[in-house]
Amino acid sequence: MDLISTPVIAMGLLDPLYTAFGWVMRVLYDFTGNFGLVIILFTIVVRGLMIPLGIKQQKSTLKQQALQGEIANIQRMYPNDKAKQSELQMALYKKHGASPLSGCLPSILQLIIIWPIFRIIQAPLVHVMNVAGEKIESIAAFLASTTGANGQTLIDEAVQGRAVMDNMPIVGALNTHASALAEVIQRGYIQMNDLINLRFLGLDLSLRPSYNPGIIFGAETIQDYLPLLAIPILVVLTTLVQMRIMRKTTPNRKKKEEDRERERVNPARAGQTPEDKSESMMKTMNFMMPVFMLITTFSMPASMGLYWIIGNIMMILQSVLIYFFFTKKLEQAETGANDVLKLEKAQS
């Protein structure tokens, strides 16, 4: 799957995000001088801004769970009328200010903002350093007609054809061929301070990780591609940890597990626990996102994988902090309120 050749989704609608994200990354690059650090700091900023949505998601989830008893009553009253069930459930959600889809809002928002991030990471010369597309095309034409020490051109025609949308091979070629860099600077195609530093912890973030043993262990490529395997490995590990932490910090997780266990032990109770639509949607997202991350990690520059890793770490921290400082307190308050209601009913 080649994500570079896919069309830009809703380009006009997302233009403000391209501009804003590119500007933030330029400020961060002027401060750090390293694109790897830019990715890390940018991801922290973006994920930090999404924390209020995470809190709102937990509130909505708790509201939905508090309504599960009433939803179960609706399902028992109209067991064969799905339309009536849906109508009454939506009225119930509206009355209490809950939404079955709000639990997926952070994931949906993440999918929206990821497209500008894709393009910016692929084309940092355009979106971060503001190099004109015409100049990038001139650089690409020069590199495609210049041979290196191995007798091959510095970039091939395919790379030249998509140079404006994918600058990473251009930056990589200029960083590794000083004479070519000097020539394009002399011709006025680019300035020295426009060239991005893509080396981070010994890794070349302009390269795409490979699963081809011939490339990973090749005599001329092992030095770059073997260490680069750390990126997809860490993407997978942090994704698995994130999914586990999110399951553990789901509101009222223990109560849900107890309800399911009672249904398993007592078949007569089967179907009495209402289906949580947001939970089923989250399960789908939890399956799709790791696959999506892994595909993009191998089909895009390593800087994209770095974004996923830092994003996963931030999500882990966010889930833990929101649970212990917010969700757990609400669960305890809800449990206390239920105990008071039970006591009042027993005394009446």
Check pLDDT > 80 for residue 94.
no
Count Cα atoms within 13 angstroms, Cβ side, for 315. Answer: 21
Q: Answer yes or no: do 203 and 120 share one domain.
A: yes
Q: Please report which confidence band the pLDDT of residue 202 belongs to, taking 50, 70 and 90 as the band edges.
A: confident
58 contacts: CB under 8 Å, gap ≥ 6 = 251, 322, 323, 326, 327, 330
Q: Which residue has the higher pLDDT, 254 or 294?
A: 294
Q: pLDDT by residue (tens digit) across 304-343?
A: 999 999 999 998 988 888 888 777 776 666 555 454 344 3
Instruction: At 235, list the tokens.
Output: 């993407």
Q: Please report which confidence band the pLDDT of residue 26 belongs to, taking 50, 70 and 90 as the band edges.
A: very high
Q: pLDDT by residue (tens digit) across 141-194?
A: 988 888 877 778 888 888 888 888 888 889 888 888 888 899 889 998 988 888
Does the pTM surpass 0.85? The reply is no
| Bridge partner residues of 200 (DSSP) | 203
Check pLDDT > 70 for residue 265.
no
Instruction: Choose the final residue of a domain: 180, 195, 210.
Output: 195
Q: Answer yes or no: do 164 and 218 share one domain.
A: no
Q: How far apart are CA 37 and CA 200, in angstroms?
A: 8
Residue 249, CA distances (Å) to 67, 138, 148 in order = 20, 53, 54
| Cα dihedral 117→122→123→129 (10° resolution) | 70
Q: Answer yes or no: do 262 and 186 share one domain.
A: no
Q: Answer yes or no: do 96 and 19 share one domain.
A: yes
Q: Answer yes or no: do 90 and 188 share one domain.
A: no
| Bridge partner residues of 199 (DSSP) | 204
How confident is the model at residue 266, as a pLDDT?
Answer: 60
Number of domains in the chain: 2
Q: Answer yes or no: do 235 and 162 share one domain.
A: no
Q: Which residue has the higher pLDDT, 337 or 70?
A: 70
Instruction: Choose the final residue of a domain: 144, 165, 195.
Output: 195
How confident is the model at residue 81, as a pLDDT?
Answer: 73
Q: Answer yes or no: do 300 and 152 share one domain.
A: no
Please state, as a whole number, how many other Cβ atoms lie within 10 Å of the Cβ of residue 157.
Answer: 9
Check pLDDT > 70 for residue 16.
yes
Instruction: Assess contact for 225 and 216: CB atoms under 8 A.
Output: yes
Count Cα atoms within 13 angstroms, Cβ side, for 268. Answer: 0
How confident is the model at residue 35, as a pLDDT?
Answer: 92
Percent of the chain with pLDDT over 70: 74
- Segments forming the whole domain that contains residue 137: 132-195
How confident is the model at residue 194, as a pLDDT?
Answer: 86
Q: Answer yes or no: do 136 and 53 share one domain.
A: no
How confident is the model at residue 257, as a pLDDT?
Answer: 54
Each residue of 283-319: b (16+ CB within 10 Å) or e?
A: eebeeebbeebbebbbebbbbbbbbbbbbbbbbbbbb
Instruction: At 86, list the tokens.
Output: 């849906």
What is the pLDDT of the chain when averaged over all its residues?
Answer: 78
- Number of residues written out for the chain: 348
Instruction: Choose the final residue of a domain: 195, 226, 247.
Output: 195
How confident is the model at residue 70, as a pLDDT?
Answer: 76
How confident is the model at residue 253, as a pLDDT?
Answer: 56
Rounded to 5°, the CA angle 7-10-12 comes to: 115
Q: pLDDT by residue (tens digit) across 29-62?
A: 999 989 999 999 999 998 888 878 777 777 777 7
Q: Answer yes or no: do 240 and 285 share one domain.
A: yes
Calculate mean pLDDT across residues 279-306.
78
How confident is the model at residue 343, as a pLDDT?
Answer: 38
Q: Answer yes or no: do 52 and 157 share one domain.
A: no
Q: Answer yes or no: do 78 and 220 share one domain.
A: yes
Least confident of 49-58, 120-129, 185-194, 231-240: 49-58
How confident is the model at residue 291, as a pLDDT?
Answer: 81
Q: Answer yes or no: do 186 and 239 share one domain.
A: no
Q: Which residue has the higher pLDDT, 314 or 106?
A: 314
Each residue of 6-44: b (16+ CB within 10 Å) or e?
A: eeeeeeeebeebbeebbebbbebbeeeebbbebbbbbbe
How confident is the model at residue 344, as a pLDDT?
Answer: 42
